[in-house]
Structures are given as C-alpha cells and as structure tokens.
Amino acid sequence: WYATIDIANAFFSIPLAAECRPQFAFTWRGVQYTWNRLPQGWKHSPTICHGLIQTALEKGEAPEHLQYIDDIIVWGNTATEVFEKGERIIQILLQAGFAIKKSKVKGPAREIQFLGVKWQDGRRQIPTEVINKITAMSPPTNKKETQAFLGAIGFWRMHIPEYSQIVSPLYLVTRKKNDFHWGPEQQQAFAQIKQEIAHAVALGPVRTGPEVKNVLYSAAGNNGLSWSLWQKVPGETRGRPLGF
C-alpha cells in the first residue's frame, strides 16, 4: 500500500531572512520590489526547500518515507498502516508551518504515481498514459524533434534491454556534423523503441537479506555496451529485473 503527500506552495511557505531580501530585488515598471518568501525559479530554492522539509521531518521523527523536495511517499503492508504514517507526517509538516491540501494527498492505494513513476507491489512501472503518449508520436522531421523524442523515452531507459543499441541510429541524426536524414535505419529504430516502451517490464521489487542473490550481466558488442541487474530469492524459478 502507498500514499503520497504534496506540500502546497512549499517555496512560499519559507520566509527569507530580512538581511537577504535586498539580494532578490527587481524593478517592474519603475517600481522596485523584492521577494519576502523563497522565490520560484531561483536555482538554489529546490535545495533549500528540500533541506528544510527534511530537517522538519527528522526532528519530528517521521515514519519511514521518501522525500524529493515537496513530494513525499509512504508505504506499508496495510491501508491502515499507510494512513497512520501519512497522518503523522502531515501533522509534523503542519507543525513546521507548511500547508497541506486534501487534494494533494493520494491514497492509501495499492498502486500510485510518485514523481511520474507508477508503483505497484514494490514494482516500478511506466504509467499507461506515458506509454500511450510515446507510442502515438509521429516520426521526427528534424534534429530538434528527434532530440525531443529521445528525451521523452530516455527517462525510461532502465526498463528497456539494450536501449543504447536500439536508439543509436536516432542519435546519429542529431549530431551537429551530420545533416538530418531520416532513413530506413532510423525508422526501424523508431518503431522498435516504441514497441519496447509499449511492452516494457516492471522492475523490482527490491529485496534484502542474506539469501538474496544480485546478478549483474554486462556485454560489449559492435553497437555498444549493455548491462542488466537481476535479483533472485529462494523459491523463485527465475530472477526479477531491477534495471537495464
């Protein structure tokens, strides 16, 4: 079971020290303003925000969780366990001065999305809407569109065996020294990687313990390198992939 918590307006919940506010001054239509709260768009804001939330959770002795800036996920064996963990974390955050909207709290549920990834029974999966979006894409007509496609699929490369070999023809047409030419080789790679995305396997769950065996396979060929990490526990006839 899972539950996720997204803090509302996390950056704006953090006041800037008075002596630091002049550093964030700006002028708009002849009038000078300055930020009083941690501004969005400043490169250090995510790090500061993450650290302050992490500190608040540690001081409050929050139950086991994962946090990325203002997004938090908790998990457990039952819905009740997850609900209680989530409730405790929300109480800690409220006491620290952060706001939580009910609409930003998801779960308890057996499957949930966290940071764009679908989680179910400890397994990492590509969300259906992402698969549908990628498989519906048309072939690129220039370098920029090819780079955008590679960016969309690259985030999910851990799910695709021999990813780099499959997409190597697509990277060729994005090189500065090469003119854009979409040939049969690129079309085949484009169709194949979309097919791989559509049938991508779930990764995990990750197990721990002295009887767990982790096996790393690696290979090198004319088209590049490949690797895969598998895990096997007693009683399983075959291992489970953790990444490619």
User: What confidence tens digit (pLDDT) does each residue in 19-72 have?
Assistant: 999 999 999 999 999 999 999 999 999 999 999 999 999 999 999 999 999 999
Average of pLDDT values for 180-200?
97
Q: What is the CA radius of gyration of the chain?
A: 23
> What phi and psi values does residue 57 have, to the nearest 5 degrees?
-70, -40
**CA 152 to CA 136: how far, in whole Å?**
12
pLDDT value of residue 237: 80
pTM of the model: 0.83
When the pLDDT of each residue in the chain is averaged and rounded to a whole number, the result is 95
**CA 67 to CA 93: how far, in whole Å?**
12
Q: What is the separation of C-alpha 87 from the centre of its chain, rounded to a whole number of angstroms?
A: 24
Beta bridge pairs of residue 218: 227
pLDDT band at 238 (very low <50, low <70, confident <90, very high): confident
What is the share, in percent, of the chain residues with pLDDT greater than 70? 100
Q: What is the pLDDT of residues 165-185, one digit of tens each?
A: 999 999 999 999 989 999 999
Domain boundaries, the chain: 2-115, 125-244
Query: Which CATH architecture does the domain made up of 2-115 adopt?
Result: 2-Layer Sandwich (3.30)
Is a pLDDT exceeding 80 seen at residue 122?
Answer: yes
pLDDT band at 220 (very low <50, low <70, confident <90, very high): confident
> What phi and psi values does residue 165 have, to the nearest 5 degrees?
-70, -40
**CA 243 to CA 156: how far, in whole Å?**
10
Same CATH topology for 2-115 and 125-244? yes
| Token couple for 191 | 């169709």
Q: Domain spanning 125-244: which CATH class is it, in words?
A: alpha beta
DSSP H/E element including 130: helix 128-135
pLDDT value of residue 225: 86
Average of pLDDT values for 89-103?
96
| Token couple for 58 | 């540690």
93 contact partners, CB below 8 Å, separation of at least 6: 5, 7, 53, 56, 57, 100
